[in-house]
Amino acid sequence: TPLLQVNDLRAKIVESNVQILHGVNLTVNQGEVHAIMGKNGSGKSTFAKVLVGHPDYEVTGGSVVFKGENLLEMEPEERSLSGLFMSFQSPVEIPGVSNDEFLVMAYNARRKKLGLPELGPLECFSYLMEKLQLVNMKPDFLNRNVNEGFSGGERKRNEILQLAVLGADLAILDEIDSGLDVDALRDVAGAVNRILTPQNSLMMITHYRRILDLLNPTHVHVMDKGKIARTGDISMVETIEAEGYETVSAST
Ligand code: ADP
Ligand code: MG
Ligand code: MG
């Protein structure tokens, strides 16, 4: 059975009642890497946020099954504990809570959900060190307050560190490559590649080919007007770069 099965998913913005998703269909299996591309405003971020249960949106139709369970009936926190990851960085800084405390709390909550014992302070420390190494980040990063003074690039790296620490069956990364210089992009992509295994899957929203060349998606989708308008493999990215989204979306 698929890891994620999205059928005819429809959703609107709660505040304005505006319908954004108009019937999204998507199947993700274990070990696959799915790229979601598409024009600004086509609904990519909305799709991701609806999957993780963001309160700004209300599902108006369709179904989502994740690991055999009805995802739409689960609270956002439960979705994350069950292995659906999307960066949980808040736009506000959390005074007095350091990054490592935050990560350890989140990781121990997930261990509990998996039926594993919580890690004590020393085990936590070595686990975090191992993951820092995996994503190639400096230990001083852990002592910073959550989101306090993180640059754009540091936020992106922190997102990958969160993913490495928590682990996930399906990770959703929304424009993880935006605003990164070439070196940072290579680092981040390398870290994502080290996190990926045949047992987990990635859904990556991006505008750019550079990160796709580094991550080798198994599937490439183009979203248009709240639907997945076209699905192909990495070769479709060349067509998009040459001709833009319009021809690619129109040729369905
Ligand atoms: P993308 O990520 O593909 O650029 P989005 O999903 O962010 O597109 O947005 C799709 C459309 O929905 C846009 O027109 C955007 O302005 C609108 N939208 C999304 N979320 C909200 C929101 N919370 N409030 C108001 N408008 C929103
Ligand atoms: Mg956008
Ligand atoms: Mg977006």
Nearest to 62 by CA among 27, 22, 34, 35: 22
Mean confidence (pLDDT) of the chain? 90
Instruction: Please report, for the chain, the start and end positions of each structural domain, with discontinuous segments joined by +.
Output: 4-250
Higher pLDDT, 71 or 207: 71
Task: Give the mean pLDDT of 130-137.
Answer: 88
Is ligand 1 within 6 A of the CB of residue 17?
no
| Per-residue model confidence (pLDDT) at position 89 | 54
Q: What spacing in Å lies between the alpha carbon of 43 and ligand 2's midpoint?
A: 8
**Does 88 score more than 80 pLDDT?**
no
As a residue count, the chain comes to 252
Give percent of the chain above pLDDT 70. 95
Single-letter residue type at 91:
P
Q: Which two tokens stand for residue 122?
A: 């020393």
The structure tokens 């306090």 sit at 148
| Per-residue model confidence (pLDDT) at position 200 | 96
ipTM of the shown complex = 0.96
Higher pLDDT, 92 or 205: 205
| Per-residue model confidence (pLDDT) at position 147 | 66
| Per-residue model confidence (pLDDT) at position 39 | 93
Is ligand 1 within 6 A of the CB of residue 46?
yes
| Per-residue model confidence (pLDDT) at position 248 | 75
How is 141-155 classified by DSSP, letter by letter?
Answer: GGGSBTTTT--HHHH
- Atom 22 of ligand 1, residue of closest alpha carbon: 13
**Ligand 1: which atom is nearest the Cα of residue 43?**
6
CATH superfamily membership of 4-250: P-loop containing nucleotide triphosphate hydrolases (3.40.50.300)
Distance CA 56, CA 70 (A): 20
